[in-house]
């Protein structure tokens, strides 16, 4: 079962072609890792999946992305607000709103029409999912900026979970964290398998091996990011076919 069907997706910023002609299916309830060297369009690709590309001036997207059977870009397109409720995102740098922890949940939940009295329970459940509840339950009205980097990132994951999305996009969620915080975050992503469809961009191949059910490798060819290999994680990571991927994996393994 494919949750997201991407076909012939190209992304350009003005004259720069960031991503060219990507066709990929993201299986439902599984973790799909996007790997590849930096600058090969992984993040741009991810941002197209919740139309965050709209925020970038001069960014043009062509091809099609379908969530279940609904088009993201072609008419009749899903409106961005309900799209982003269904497709959540966690960024590389933790980005809680500079307000209280509680407000970080209230603002998005109220926006999507959750009644006020249901919010505390949702917030508790989401924070428990990332093992943050015990750490912050006594100081929910403190500014989220006072949390440590790892806690902030887990808060951001919980904030995305609270909207009960169908898909969650992770854009190198551990690369701004120290190794211990990074392992904690990874463990929580692991635990979300099955409940959500997860797409994670990472440049950490060991992490991809530990987390992913399937892997897509992006590569820079002719000045543009392309998908060069895809399949179940075990196959791609242990027996890659593309020579570039072979040397990439060997280089990093050796």
Partner 1 sequence: MVLRRPVDCLLGWVGGLIALATAGAFAWILWDLVRLGLSQVTWGFLTGELSDGGRSGGIGPVLVSTAGILGGCLFFAVPLGVGCAIWLSEFVRRGSPWARAVIGGVDLLASVPSIVFGLFGMTFFCQKLGLGFSILSGGLTLGCMILPTVIRTTLSAMRNLPSDLRPSSAALGLSRLTMLREILLPSAFPGILVGITLGIGRALSETAALIFTSGYATRWPASLADSGRSLSVHIYDLAMNIPNGGANAAASALVLLALILAINLTASGLGERWRSRQTGLRN
Q: Name the minimum Å distance from CB 112 to partner 1.
A: 6
Specify the residue, 33 or 163, whose C-beta has the smaller distance to partner 1: 163
Is 113 within 8 Å of 128 (Cβ atoms)? Answer: no
Stretch touching partner 1 by CB under 8 A, among 3-11, 20-28, 159-167, 239-247? 159-167
Sign of the four-CA dihedral 229, 233, 237, 239: negative
Structure token pair of residue 244 = 């570039």
Is 32 within 8 Å of 1 (Cβ atoms)? Answer: no
Q: Is 121 in the site for partner 1 (CB under 8 A)?
A: no
Structure token pair of residue 144 = 């989220």
Closest listed residue to residue 84, CA positions, set 112, 50, 61: 50
Stretch touching partner 1 by CB under 8 A, among 29-37, 128-136, 141-149, 200-208? 141-149
User: Which residues, including other chains, have CB under 8 Å from residue 112's CB and lie 6 or more apart?
Assistant: 85, 163
Q: Is 182 in the site for partner 1 (CB under 8 A)?
A: no
For residue 88, give the H/E element and its range.
strand 87-90
Q: Is 73 in the site for partner 1 (CB under 8 A)?
A: no
Determine which residue in the list 64, 95, 175, 204 makes contact with partner 1, applying CB under 8 A.
95
Q: What are phi and psi of 235, to 5 degrees?
A: -65, -55
Q: Name the minimum Å distance from CB 103 to partner 1.
A: 8
Integer Cα distance of 138 and 214 in angstroms: 39
Specify the residue, 17 or 159, whose C-beta has the smaller distance to partner 1: 159
Determine which residue in the list 160, 181, 185, 200 makes contact with partner 1, applying CB under 8 A.
160
Q: Is 163 in the site for partner 1 (CB under 8 A)?
A: yes
Stretch touching partner 1 by CB under 8 A, among 32-40, 50-58, 69-77, 172-180? 50-58
CA angle in degrees (0–180, nearest 5) for 140-142-133: 30
* Site residues, partner 1 (CB under 8 A): 50, 52, 54-55, 57, 80-85, 88-89, 91, 93, 95-99, 103, 107-108, 111-112, 143, 145-146, 156, 159-160, 163
């Amino acid at each position: 079962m494919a949750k997201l069907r991407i076909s012939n997706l190209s992304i350009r910023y003005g004259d720069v072609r960031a991503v060219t002609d990507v066709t990929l299916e993201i299986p439902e309830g599984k973790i799909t890792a996007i790997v590849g060297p930096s600058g090969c369009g992984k993040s741009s690709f991810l941002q197209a999946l919740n139309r965050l590309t709209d925020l970038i001036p001069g960014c043009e997207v062509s091809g099609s992305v379908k969530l279940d059977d609904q088009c993201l870009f072609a008419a009749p397109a899903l409106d961005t607000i309900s799209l982003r409720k269904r497709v959540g995102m966690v960024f590389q740098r933790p980005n809680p709103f500079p307000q209280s922890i509680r407000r970080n949940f209230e603002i998005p939940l109220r926006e999507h029409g959750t009644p006020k009295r249901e919010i505390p329970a949702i917030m508790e459940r989401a924070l428990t999912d990332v093992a943050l509840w015990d750490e912050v339950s006594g100081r929910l009205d403190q500014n989220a900026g006072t949390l440590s980097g790892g806690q902030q990132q887990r808060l951001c994951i919980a904030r995305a979970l609270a909207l009960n999305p169908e898909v969650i996009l992770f854009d190198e969620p551990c690369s701004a964290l120290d190794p211990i915080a990074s392992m904690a975050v990874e463990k929580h992503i692991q635990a979300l398998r099955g409940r959500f469809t997860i797409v994670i961009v990472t440049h950490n191949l060991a992490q991809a091996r530990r987390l992913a059910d399937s892997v897509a490798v992006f590569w820079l060819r002719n000045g543009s990011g392309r998908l060069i290999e895809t399949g179940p994680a075990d196959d791609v990571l242990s027996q890659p076919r593309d020579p570039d991927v072979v040397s990439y994996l060997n280089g990093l393994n050796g």
